[in-house]
Structures are given as C-alpha cells and as structure tokens.
Structure 1
Amino acid sequence: MNFPLLTHIAEISPRPTLLIAGEHAHSRYFSEDAYAAAAEPKELLIIEDANHVDLYDRSDKISFDKLEEFFGDNLR
C-alpha cells in the first residue's frame, strides 16, 4: 500500500489539475502535498465538513458544479 504519490507529478503538470479533499479526510494531506508540488494551472478544493468517504457516498457533499466547470473549461 505504499504509493509514491509525487514521483510523477512533473509528468502531470502543467496540465490543469483539480484536487478535491474533504475537510476531515485522513488523506487530505495527500491532496495538499500534490497541490504544493504541482505546476499551474492547479486548484485545490476542500469540501467543508466532509471526510474521505463522504466524497464517494454523499451526493450532497460532492461539488458537481465545480466538476462540471473544471471539465468544461479544460476538456475542449
């Protein structure tokens, strides 16, 4: 279960990157570290009062508007 998250970050950037994490997610630091290491353009969206699993199971917590905006702007 050891995944070197930032090993290939330079291969991802400078493509537009959207990282989403729950405010209370145990894995939030992964998104914050990736955001810090990524080149622009990049966005980090922290979902208030959500944990990691909420962003899979709770449709009221998922930011569908932000996903639609991001993909609409970046997948032309």
Structure 2
Amino acid sequence: MTPLLGLVAVCITLAVLALVAIYQALPCAHRAFEHPPDEGAVFRCYCYDRPILVTIAGRRTSRPERRGRHARPRAPPHANRR
C-alpha cells in the first residue's frame, strides 16, 4: 500500500508543479506593461522579413488641433431669433 501512496503523492506534486509552470507562462498585464519610449529613441522592429529602424518623433505643436471634419463655429445665441 505504501508504494502506491508514494506514487500518488509524486503524481500530485508533478501535476501541481505543471500547473504552476503553466500559470507563470501565461501573459500578465503587469509584466506586459512598458513605459512609452522617450522622444528621439531609436530601435529596430523585427515585425517583417527585414528589420525596420524606428525613430520616435516628438509631438507636433505647430498646428492647432482640429475640431473635426465638418465642425462649424457655434452660432451666436441671437442668430435664430426673428
């Protein structure tokens, strides 16, 4: 009876270790988070057949932000009065 109990204990231990290893291999939101790269940073992207050199550009502030494709200025409150 004792050898069978030892075999069951070893199997349960291996199963628990396998489950822990699988859990650790799963993606986690905290481990996947990376801070955005700094302005002017250069790195290589290996997403395609040939590596691409990517440079992070700064924000453009020379143009004002657009209000929308068909945005019109608001009419004065007295425009619809007759």
Both proteins in one fold, TM over 0.5: no
Q: Whose helix proportion is higher, 1 or 2? A: 1
Tell me the TM-score normalised to structure 1 length: 0.20
Larger RCO, structure (CA 8 Å, separation 6 or more): 1
Tell me the TM-score normalised to structure 2 length: 0.19
